[in-house]
Amino acid sequence: MKKYSTGECDWSHGAPCDYDNGRPSHKLLGPCPDCGSPTYDYGGGWRCRAMYCNRSDSNPAPSVGKAPTWWDSNINVYLDGDSWCATHDGFINLQESDAGFGDTPQKAVDALLAICEERKEDE
């Protein structure tokens, strides 16, 4: 089970949540691409658990977007000061390992993947 640790919250991908009569009615998914809060399965899609996030269940739209492809992968996102940082499993430090930064988790992941693409082109 992929573990997430965003600096604000720790949880595992697929962990049951929202118990109703002792039975879980939802499962936790990856960090919200906008705010980094835990998300959960919702109908055929997903929703963010943060109350004021545009991707929460108060958004009446049938879908809040595709589930990010980096959920349940070797990519980790966490808050670093005021920005989000994305790294791969096995991250050592900023000198030795790739890292992407952005003001949302999705932007940090995009920056990380762009760095990895550049590296591939250099080789």
28 is a site residue for Zn ion (CB under 5 A): no
Contact map string, positions 30 to 59, toward Zn ion, x by CB under 5 A: --x-xx-x----------x-x--x-x----
| Closest approach of Zn ion to the CB of residue 81, in Å | 19
Distances in Å between the alpha carbon of 108 and those of 25, 71, 111, 113?
A: 31, 13, 5, 9
- Exposed e or buried b for every residue in 30-53, given b needs 16+ CB within 10 A? bbbbbbbbbbbbbeebbbbbbeeb
Q: Identify which of residues 61 and 92 has a Cβ nearer to Zn ion in the complex.
A: 61
Q: Which residues bind Zn ion (CB under 5 A)?
A: 32, 34-35, 37, 48, 50, 53, 55
